[in-house]
Every structure is written in C-alpha cells, then in structure tokens.
Structure 1
C-alpha cells in the first residue's frame, strides 16, 4: 500500500520538483503538475496509458467527468498499489510534466 508520504518522497526526489497546494490539496510541480492528491488516498498523475490502466485495473485506476477533458490524467487509489508501482507512475508523470 502506497501513501501520501511515499508520493511526497518520490516526487521531491525528482530534479526541480516543489510541493505546493492545488485546489486545497498537496501537489508536486516541475514545469507543470507532476502529481496532486485528489481526495483522501486518491492521487492524480499523468500517463499515456490511462485507458489501458483503467481497463485492466478499474478498481485502482479511474477518472471522473472532471478529468474527461484531460486525457493524460488518471486517478489512482494509493491503497491498491505498492511503492514500486507508485514510483513507475510518478516517473512517467514527471517525464510528461517536464517534456
């Protein structure tokens, strides 16, 4: 099970990432947003694989109508992933945010 603190440690380990509030929740930014806590235990990240992730593990990966207009954003239930998977997701999100 990954936690918000895991997100914080991984994100702040990337070059040029800082933490600040976004919509009242912790968020991590490089050139653009890398990750943001959506609600308790749910993280927003960027990915090029949103459809595939949600299609294979919809209990873990999903999005709301709010995210429909942003096809790179996916919501992740942290309780359903481990630190290794979290690191991979955040690495991709960081690469997208800094491209």
Structure 2
C-alpha cells in the first residue's frame, strides 16, 4: 500500500515539482497543482480518465460534490491503489498540470 511518503517521493522525483501546503494539506505543484492529500489516505490527482477509473473501480477512485466542477480531478484511496498505478497516475497528473516552464497544461 502506497503511503503519503511514497506520493511525496514520486512527485518530487519529477522535474521542477515543488511541495507546499494547500488548504492545510501537503500538495505538489508543477506549473499548477498536480496532487494533494485530500484527507489522510486519500490523494487528489488530475486525470483525463476520471469517469473510466471510477466506473471500473469505485472503491479506489471517486469524487465528492466539491469536485463536480473540476472534471479532471479524481480522489484515490491509497490503500487500494497499486504502487505502479500510483506512479502512472502521478505522471499523467504532472503532464496535465503542465511541467514547470510550460505555457499550458
């Protein structure tokens, strides 16, 4: 089971990613926010596959009414996601957030 420390390591291994709090929780930024701890054990990431992820595995991937207006955000239960899948999700979120120095996500 991946931990917050695993998320931190994977995020900070990406070029130009920085960590700073967002709404009192650890968050990682490329050009824009790419990942954030929503609550203990739950990570917010950007994806273009939110509906497919939640439709395939709603116990792992979900969103709250707060996220309705942000169709690229999905919540991930860390206890249910495989480490390699977490890495893939963070890589995609990084590309969507826009690597530092890019002009668009």
Common fold, TM-score beyond 0.5? yes
User: 1:96 matched to which residue of 2?
Assistant: 96
Does 2:63 align with 1:63? yes
Tell me how far 1:82 sits from its aligned partner.
Answer: 1.8
- Could you list the runs of 5+ residues in structure 1 that have no partner in the other structure? none
Query: How far, CA to CA, are the matches of 1:94 and 1:78 in structure 2?
Result: 18
Runs of 4+ that moved beyond 2 A: none
| Secondary structure of the structure 2 residue equivalent to 1:76 | strand
Tell me how far 1:83 sits from its aligned partner.
Answer: 1.2
User: 1:2 matched to which residue of 2?
Assistant: 2
User: 2:30 matched to which residue of 1?
Assistant: 30
For residues 68-79 of structure 1, what are the structure 2 equivalents within 5 Å? 68-79=68-79
User: 1:87 matched to which residue of 2?
Assistant: 87
How many residue pairs align between the two structures?
Answer: 99
Q: Deviations over 1:5-36 (max 9, x none)?
A: 11000000011100000000000001001100
- Could you list the runs of 5+ residues in structure 2 that have no partner in the other structure? 99-104
- CA RMSD for the aligned pairs? 0.5
User: 1:21 matched to which residue of 2?
Assistant: 21
